[in-house]
Amino acid sequence: MIEPQILIILVKVVIVIGGLMTAAAYFVLLERRMAAWVQDRVGPNRVGAPLSQLNKSWKDLRLFGLGQPAADGVKFILKEEYTPAHVDKRLFVLAPISILVAALATFAVIPFGSVLPNGLFWDEPIDMAVSSGAGVGMLVVFALSSIAVYGVILGGWASNNKYSFLGALRSSAQLIAYELPLGLGILGVILATGSLDLDKIIAAQAETGWWFAFTQPLGFFVFFVAAFAEAARLPFDLPECEQELIGGYHTEYAGIKLLLFLVAEFLHMIAASFLIVMLFFGGWHFWFITGSEANPGWVHAILRIAVLMTKIFVVILFFMLVRWSWPRFRFDQLMAFAWKVMLPLGLINFVAIAVIDQVKTMSGDSIPGIDLMCAVAAWGVCIAAWVVISFAGPLVADNLPRLDLDPFDVDSQI
């Protein structure tokens, strides 16, 4: 007889993995349709229900192309599993498996809502995270996201291909560089809440009614941009830029192994969207709709899930819109942006939020409107920091040749 708690965890795992894999497949379709819309062309709109395969007199149903993900999945599964002879076969197979496992394991500590109240088949409220009560959710997320880079490096190294190896080197440099501002971006949130638990961070925003995107705008921007880079999305897709490296670290991959890489890439984007919403946009909280109580009823519980998923969907749409709207950075510009812009802004945000939080703690409730004053101060720091960084940044920021400077001067400014 399976224990009820173990059964609940198994059900959560099945729902999370099934939902994520389905979401990744259909987000690919959505992104292809958005690419067609942005670039004024026709996207996938034909594959639907192949009824003619059952009866020749029937017509196929297009269903707006909703069958395209299933067709793509079958194509990847049935495609020839070709492994080049010059690769390290053990590492070659291990690379896509490791990156997918790390991407899926990240969602073990990410909640998909608040809690489910008592029901017919359970006596206690059910937490909406697979691993509930971890208490250090953000630490686990950062640890697993750091492990994921090993899959990329292994894929590039095991391929024994210069294009793949260059993509792996770019990826390691990029991900290490942008992990620092990514961590600095959330330090202000941790200072304000005193917790690494995502549930408590969301509850803190629901209790005060102030989302951290409004009270910590500089930290939000630093984390948001670094999340783009960590997910290797345009304009930060240097590890796999097809114009320069064919496919980057997965150039030599095909079939189901390539599919694992592509699914992991979308899972990183989905995880980044979850974190952006939970850390800076209140998670499941929305004013006058979801309430702020710790144990909601069924109506509020369902509304919280709907609000959370709607916010995440909007952020994912923004990820896709940016990908098909902005050009790619040059690699030296990408690294200079991390070390010369993002890292200083992250440090400024951390110091500013620490000072503001200390002033707020010392004043207590003695000063009316202290929350609004602290938010205004944070916005002032954000604007001032951007002005200073803009004037102190490199002079050469475009891709045009500078005929008035010699090569040494150009290299020293970028």
Tell me whether residue 295 is exposed, middle or buried, using C-beta atoms within 10 angstroms of its C-beta: 0 to 12, 13 to 18, 19 or more.
exposed
Q: Is a pLDDT exceeding 60 seen at residue 372?
A: yes
Burial 60-74 (b: 16+ CB within 10 A, else e): eeeeebbbbbeebbe
- Lowest average pLDDT, out of 33-42, 105-114, 271-280, 402-411, goes to 402-411
pLDDT level of residue 85 (50, 70, 90 thresholds): confident
Q: Quick one: which of 22, 21, 114 has its CA closest to 305?
A: 114
- Residue 396 is predicted with a pLDDT of 53
Q: Classify residue 161 as left (phi > 0), alpha (psi -120 to 50) or beta.
A: beta
- Residue 189 is predicted with a pLDDT of 92
Compute the mean pLDDT over every residue in the chain, rounded to the nearest whole number: 84
Indicate the DSSP class of residue 61.
B
Q: Is a pLDDT exceeding 70 seen at residue 406?
A: no
Tell me how far apart the alpha carbons of residues 108 and 91 are, in angstroms, rounded to a whole number.
26
Give per-residue pLDDT as tens, 19-31. 888 888 899 889 8
pTM score: 0.89
- Residue 86 is predicted with a pLDDT of 86
- Residue 327 is predicted with a pLDDT of 80
- Residue 381 is predicted with a pLDDT of 92
pLDDT level of residue 400 (50, 70, 90 thresholds): low
Contacts of 14 (CB under 8 A, 6+ apart): none
pLDDT level of residue 281 (50, 70, 90 thresholds): very high
Q: Is a pLDDT exceeding 70 seen at residue 254?
A: yes
Q: Is a pLDDT exceeding 60 seen at residue 142?
A: yes
Tell me the two tokens of residue 260.
């694992």
Tell me how far apart the alpha carbons of residues 334 and 347 are, in angstroms, rounded to a whole number.
19
- Residue 392 is predicted with a pLDDT of 78
- Residue 317 is predicted with a pLDDT of 93
- Residue 226 is predicted with a pLDDT of 92
Give the residue-averaged pLDDT of 345-358.
91
Neighbours of 75 (CB within 10 A): 11
- Residue 304 is predicted with a pLDDT of 92
Please give the residue that has the higher pLDDT: either 381 or 126. Answer: 381
| For the chain, percent of residues with pLDDT exceeding 90 | 21
